[in-house]
Amino acid sequence: MINVHVLNGPNLNLLGRREPEVYGRHTLPDIERMVRERAEALNVSVTFRQSNHEGHLVDWIQEAGAQGAGVVLNAGAYTHTSIALRDAISGSATPTVEVHLSNVHAREGFRHRSLIAPVSVGVICGFGPRSYVLGLEAIHRVLIERAQQAKPSTH
């Protein structure tokens, strides 16, 4: 079974209350339900976590890499500042899709630069909670393709 870790960074525990005009009214548990529903349809096992602490996210990325799992990561503000998260992704060789609820490119200039994007397989932003579902679908496809490539040819 394919395993995906959906990891959430700082302040995402405040979704639904924090700047609803930017992030919407869905809570993180709402998003988790949406992701789990789609994961069940895809036959994907999901580990869903949130932390306001950078070190926890680093540990979880490394854990996912050790398990051969994929990662859907909303690093929140750490997206723009964390060399540690970037190094955890590249060092663990964990295929990662970066996601954001809002379109970060339509916001403040400091949000336009991601330290994580260059070591991720892709970035999805601006679709609200659907960004997570799209991220799950994307990493699912990446993991399937990598598994197929790893199989020895029968020819």
74 is in an annotated binding site: yes
Contacts of 21 (CB under 8 A, 6+ apart): none
Structural domain including 144 reads 2-150
State the pTM of this model: 0.92
Match 């996912």 to its residue by tokens. 64
The answer to the question of residue 93 being in a domain is yes
The answer to the question of residue 57 being in a domain is yes
80 is in an annotated binding site: yes
The answer to the question of residue 139 being in a domain is yes
- The strands making up 96-100's β-sheet, listed across from edge to edge, are 44-50, 2-8, 70-74, 96-100, 122-125
The answer to the question of residue 103 being in a domain is yes
59 is in an annotated binding site: no
Residue 55, domain CATH: 3.40.50.9100
The answer to the question of residue 155 being in a domain is no
101 is in an annotated binding site: yes
Please spell the DSSP secondary structure of 73-130, one letter per residue: EE-GGGGGT-HHHHHHHHHHT--EEEEESS-GGGS-GGGG--SSGGGSSEEEESSTTH
The answer to the question of residue 140 being in a domain is yes
DSSP secondary structure code for residue 151 in this structure: S
Question: How are beta strands 2-8 and 70-74 bridged, if at all?
Answer: parallel
Q: What is the count of structural domains for the chain?
A: 1
> What pLDDT tens digit does each residue of the chain (155 aa) get?
899 999 999 999 988 887 666 666 789 999 999 999 999 999 999 999 999 999 999 999 999 999 999 999 999 999 999 999 999 999 999 999 999 998 876 666 766 689 999 999 999 999 999 999 999 999 999 999 999 998 876 66
Between CA 59 and CA 136, with CA 95 as vertex, the angle to 5 degrees is 95
Q: Mind telling me the catalytic residues?
A: 23, 100
Nearest C-alpha neighbor of 32 from the set 64, 69, 72, 60: 72
